[in-house]
Structure 1
Amino acid sequence: MEVYALVGPSGTGKSHRAMVVAYEHGIDTVIDDGLLIKDGLKLAGQSAKREATAMQAVKRAIFLDKEHAQQVRQRLLEENPERVLVLGTSARMVEKITDALEIPRPSKIIKIEDIATEREMKLAKELRENHGMHVIPVPTIEVKRDFPGYLVDPLKYFFSKKNEPRRKIGEKSIIRPKFSLMGKLIITEHVVAQITTYVVLQTQGVTQVNKVNVEMREEGVTVRLEITARYGGFLPDIARNAQKYVQNNLENLTGLIVYGVHIVIKSLDV
């Protein structure tokens, strides 16, 4: 199985362009926002757009739910597609998706800015931020089964090459999910620092957190900690365990992708 990735910031039109990218590269299977899609039809999964909050939507999109991941993983094994296109806000997010589904990491990464103009991406962001409009690359009749009561609009999609007539290659759907209608969720650096401090103090061998620096990025975060460790412990193991514990808990509690957890042991508690 060969995996391609389409990456770009949230709301820049990845789902809108996924069908064309797949068509151009001979790909019939797409993983987008928690769904496994083949030839425009949903095979497995649950759309992140159904979630009530943005935090829950991110967790759904990166398959943190084990039952959800297993369902999609099993269907992928059955279908065994030659090529798969995975959508994500970054290469790191795509890697988290491929690891959760136990498929190869991408051999080719396509950036949204390489296939869309600045104006097109700006328009897509305005539609997302001001009108709560999200695109799902499956036909409206399929979407309505999963989104009863939602406002759903069809979006037919065509592809054309030079000196060739336009050809319909599928249909997409525009929806306005609950978390868009409710407003925005913002998790501040201060909250991430508080969670990190609480979590790392639960790690065996860590007695004090001296300093936490948080760097927020698109859909994710990097944290740097200075800690005091208990004397007599094997310091590399203490640091590795703390890294893993912080990453897992931050991702589960906030839905953010943790790009890095950097730990500096500044002193020993004797």
Structure 2
Amino acid sequence: MEIYSLSGASGTGKSTSALQFAHDHQIRAIIDDGLLIIDGEKVAGTSAKFEKSALRAVRRAIFDDESHRTEVLNALHKYEIPSILLIGTSTNMTKKIAERLGLGDIAHYYQVEDIRSAKDIQRARFVREIQGQHLMPVPFRQVEQNFFKRFIQRGMDIFAPNRVKIGETTLVRPDFHQQSITIAKSVYMDIVKHVVEADPHVTRIQHLQCVVNQVPRISFGIYLGAPVNYSLPEQILALQQAIADSFFVHFQMEPEQIDIYVFGIETKAHAH
């Protein structure tokens, strides 16, 4: 069996990228947080996210429990998988998983930074650390609802470039992740207003909207002051960057999207 390792710190989005990574490398099987996932479906194991403490979650993820280990081993023998992706917080952890499951040596090592952009990792950390959300690369219907009394919702469908569906994700908030913060949409909007109103070229802002799924998406319109003796594209880009920078200062992440529409040009006297 050809073994791949994908490692990175907690909350950097390894599980989010796992299905796409496995598809790109023609890997049918994934071991993630104690689950054996084949072709995007959970076939064996119990998720570490069901545990009550972080220590028990780690022990579950490295197959410390003998009955859990045996269940996954039996499934691996049954499916006769030619290659597998092991996911862990470090290469030591993925080596431990390979050892516990008797898989042999790992042939390919990847870090999450190899397959995700810095911005994607930033957003993943925000979702994990601020909102307390963890992602499982298995369909919503396969996640035992009774384990998560506080939070469980559908994630997203993962598609290949040819639009063939390769898997689904589910968002959960495990019991061992006790702290989470809810940031009101108005907080995001106040930051945008503050940045825009400080821009000397903008006379007013209109139709400010903020859509928050996990990371906010911002859209609004502006009127610019006359005369326009500056580059319009450069001015809009600078405003987008100023908003992104302000979000990073406050939340250590940038919005998913910042759409700015220029409604018109006006003299300061006509601004209201």
TM-score bucket of the superposed structures, by smaller chain = 0.5 to 0.7
Aligned to 2:75: 75
Q: Within 1, Cα distance between the matches of 2:165 and 2:156?
A: 8
The answer to whether the Cα contact below 8 Å between 1:11 and 1:125 also exists between their aligned partners in 2 is yes
The answer to whether the Cα contact below 8 Å between 1:156 and 1:168 also exists between their aligned partners in 2 is no
Aligned length: 180
Aligned residue for 2:20, secondary structure, equals: helix
The answer to whether the Cα contact below 8 Å between 1:8 and 1:89 also exists between their aligned partners in 2 is yes
The answer to whether the Cα contact below 8 Å between 2:132 and 2:179 also exists between their aligned partners in 1 is no
2:127 corresponds to 1:127: yes
Spell out structure 1 runs of 4+ moving beyond 4 A.
none
Runs (5+) with no aligned partner, structure 2? 181-272
Q: Identify the match of residue 169 of structure 2 among 164, 167, 172.
A: 172
Give how far 1:80 is off: 1.3
Deviation per CA, 1:35-63: give whole Å up to 9, x if none.
Answer: 11111221111100000011110111011
Counterpart mapping for 1:171-250 below 5 A = 171-181=168-178
- 2:121 maps to amino acid: M
Counterpart mapping for 1:110-149 below 5 A = 110-144=110-144, 147=147, 149=149
2:82 corresponds to 1:85: no
Cα RMSD after superposing both structures: 1.7
Q: Within 2, Cα distance between the matches of 1:34 and 1:169?
A: 20
Counterpart mapping for 1:46-57 below 5 A = 46-57=46-57
Q: Within 2, Cα distance between the matches of 1:81 and 1:150?
A: 36
Aligned to 1:7: 7
Give how far 1:145 is off: 5.1
Aligned-pair identity in percent equals 40
The answer to whether the Cα contact below 8 Å between 1:30 and 1:84 also exists between their aligned partners in 2 is yes
- 2:19 maps to amino acid: M
Aligned to 1:37: 37
Give how far 1:27 is off: 1.1
The answer to whether the Cα contact below 8 Å between 1:144 and 1:152 also exists between their aligned partners in 2 is no
Deviation per CA, 1:40-89: give whole Å up to 9, x if none.
Answer: 22111110000001111011101111221111111111111011111011
Q: Within 1, Cα distance between the matches of 2:8 and 2:78?
A: 29
TM-score, normalization by structure 2:
0.63
Aligned to 1:196: none
Aligned to 2:192: none
Aligned residue for 2:144, secondary structure, equals: helix
- 2:166 maps to amino acid: I
